[in-house]
Amino acid sequence: MLETIGRSGLPLTQDRAISSNSDATSAALNQKDFLTLLTAQLKNQDPLKPMDNGEFLAQMAQFSTVSGIEKVNDTLTGMASSTRDARMATATNLLGHQVLVPGNLARPDAEGAVHGVVDLATSAENVIISYSDPLSGEIFHSESLGAQQAGLVGFTWSDLPQSLRESHGAVRVSVATVDADGTQEVGPSVYARVVSARAAGYGSDDITLQIEDYGALNALEVEAFR
């Protein structure tokens, strides 16, 4: 008398036992486990309805596919971890350096100079850069860069008062363009110091930089640094 065969191909009693433990063991099945189950299935199959070659090959192909996907996932996980470590190392190297951020509040760098960039939408007959006290509005220094073409124009103020150099004090940078239509204010970008770097939570490789006077900035947004 033949014993009733369950969905796994094993006798019904064994099939139920396997089913009851499937949730706990499915995540731990490996190639050895699969071959053991397949051998048991072949030994206990219904002799009146044996598994055909197509079904056998389909099961082998399915396991190979799952195994391949797991290896790809492991590889991608390792690559993501390596990339995150590399980006963290890069962000750490930025500590103490200055990165370019949109804004008009700047502080002197280690050499006692203020640096920035202005992006001109059109050419200008003259570009005037002014540096002032952010609280009182007192102008410390102003300079004319002359005629400039459209695009990025860099500027530097190196002869800051000694008091600003020693205190690492902030100055407000103002940019004005002069052309046939008159004078227009243009928003600059300035170099600001990176004070810390922090990795995002688990599952993300984002690195957040804390910029002096400007707060958090994603490391991917950094376009230039000094």
| β-pair type (114-120, 189-199) | antiparallel
pLDDT at 225: 87
Q: What's the burial of 191, exposed, middle or buried (CB within 10 Å: 0-12/13-18/19+)?
A: buried
Q: Give per-residue pLDDT as tens, 177-213.
A: 999 989 999 999 999 999 998 877 555 667 889 999 9
Q: Is the pLDDT of residue 5 over 60?
A: no
CB of 159 within 8 A of CB of 142? no
Radius of gyration, CA atoms only, the chain: 34
Tell which phi-psi region holds residue 182, choosing left (phi > 0), alpha (psi between -120 and 50) or beta. Answer: left
Could you read off the pLDDT of 66-100 as tens digits, one per residue?
666 666 666 655 555 556 666 667 667 778 889 99
More reliable by pLDDT, 165 or 87: 165
CA 98 – CA 156 distance, rounded (Å): 14
Residues of the chain with CATH 2.60.40.4070: 98-221
pLDDT at position 137 over 70: yes
Q: Is the pLDDT of residue 1 over 50?
A: no
Closest by alpha carbon to 207, among 219, 195, 215?
Answer: 219
CB half-sphere exposure, 204, CA atoms < 13 A = 8
Pick the range with the lowest mean pLDDT from 153-157, 203-207, 217-221: 203-207
pLDDT digits (tens, 9 = 90+) for 114-125: 999 999 999 999
Architecture of domain 98-221: Sandwich (2.60)
